[in-house]
A and B are shown apart, each in its own frame.
Chain A
Amino acid sequence: MIRAENIKKSFGDAEVLKGISHTFETGKCNLIIGRSGAGKTVMLKILVGLFQPTSGKVWYDDTAVSTLSKKEIRSIRMQVGMLFQGSALFDSMTVEENIRFPLDMFTNMTAKEKMMRVNNCLERVQLEGVNGKYPSETSGGMQKRIGIARSIVMEPKYLFCDEPNSGLDPKTALLIDELIADITYENNITTVINTHDMNSVMGIGDNIALLHQGKLVWNGNKSEVMESKDQLLQEFIFASPFLQRLRDAAVGK
């Protein structure tokens, strides 16, 4: 479980987050949604420890990570995996070396054990046999899956995904969502996903937090989205005329 406690963040005079409190639950896909500029990325970076909040605390289970020293944070990060929007795969390394990097850096596993772990992760993301390829030789969707494989290779307790579907076709986007959800449920980990993809919201949104102008304005799950009368949520979710028609048809208008 990850708990944000009255998180505020300012850059100069601009207050980006205005006191957000929310609990991201274990074994669930926790989504942070909102329009561009709502503060989603800043919130995710604070949760993962890349930014320090101006005030407030972030708790990983019973540990307040935002008050830890850099050294202490590094030890916590062994339990964290993150999928970046642009995948952030190291260009000069092969797929296998990318995935193996955290194992090489932090474990005393034998070469054989590492190879098995890497192959298991690649199998998990349905990418067997690409070990020797470089990231530039793979497609955008494959890079996301390699990114997922790298983020789970250390068997993290907390998984963060920044816009996992951006730039992908709808089918591949669904595949990535399913993959993240399956990993979350199978391993019973806390997954936090930053997205504005409506398919993700309705597909894997177990615990959704809607940010608007730096504030948490709505919280619920995917089945509560349709029933909610919250104006900001409705405007955000059903922004396109196509989705509005679908909603109207669903509620029998």
Chain B
Amino acid sequence: MNIFYHLGRFLTLLGTGFTRPENFRMYWKETMRQMDDIGVGSVVIVALIAIFMGAVAALQFAYQLSGQLIPLYYIGYIVRDLAIIESAPTITCLVLAGKVGSNMAAEIGGMRQKEHIDAMEIMGVNTASYLIIPKLIAAFVVIPLLVTIAASVAMVGGYLAVVPTGYLTDSDYTRGLTAFFDEYNIFIMYVKSATFAVILTSVSCYQGYFVTGGSVELGKASTNAVVISNILILLSDYLIAVLLTGY
């Protein structure tokens, strides 16, 4: 019952948001601001996580492949495909749900509590549109770019973990990176990152938009934004994997 209530309210909110903007220039400006917040503001943390993600993956596969008959250049191949198909989109978006999603919920929730949303409504602004749609568009554009950076940096991280340490030669790692490449995996990565972007943004905005009460409720909304986004990201990760790989 409660789930249906929230689902209905969530869809109504998004439905109200998807209308013709009052002023395209203002929406464009807000979208650019959000792109800067989400993209530039997250690139360092995303790169930092990705470099370790790639490094740890390379080391652990090196450990698992040692003494096996599998060629060592497979390490580069596994790091690449793991980053592209799974770790870059999923881990990046789980991190962004914590960083960007909680921030969105807190920002919109704070505006609700300080009557900024009421003030905009009274001016005639469609707040469901002005406060949510620029964030959705910005996340839809910027998060796949962040995921691309994360996948690239993860491969660099893998290189740094196994090549300078002498476990693998530069040419072996590079050979692995270019072996058995399937462009379809890139498509999967972008489908995942765009879907996760929409999930984390819309869920976080919804949590913030309907905040009532004081700082305790705002904190709960922010936590709910992260927890629910993470659960939905993992669930949709599985569904996309089933749908796009055909297994």
Contact = CB atoms under 8 A, between A and B. Distances in A.
Contacts of B114: 86, 88, 91
B26 interface: yes
Contact of A90 (B26, B116, B121, B124): B116
Interface-central residue, B16, B119, B121, by most chain A CB under 10 Å: B119
B23 interface: yes
A77 interface: yes
Interface in A46-69: 48-50
B31 to A, nearest CB: 15
Interface residues of A, number: 24
B22 A106 contact: yes
A70 B19 CA distance: 12
Contacts of B25: 104
Chain B's interface: helix, strand, loop or mixed, by majority? helix
B116 A88 contact: yes
A214 to B, nearest CB: 22
Chain A's interface: helix, strand, loop or mixed, by majority? mixed
Contact of A104 (B23, B116, B124, B126): B23
A77 B124 contact: yes
Given A77-B122, A88-B114, A70 B22 contact: no
Interface of A: 48-50, 70, 74-75, 77-78, 80-82, 84-86, 88, 90-91, 101-102, 104-106, 154, 160
12 contacts: A74-B124, A77-B121, A78-B123, A80-B122, A82-B122, A90-B116, A91-B114, A105-B22, A105-B23, A105-B124, A154-B123, A160-B122
Given A74-B125, A90-B116, A104-B26, 6 more contacts: A50-B118, A78-B124, A82-B122, A102-B123, A104-B23, A106-B124
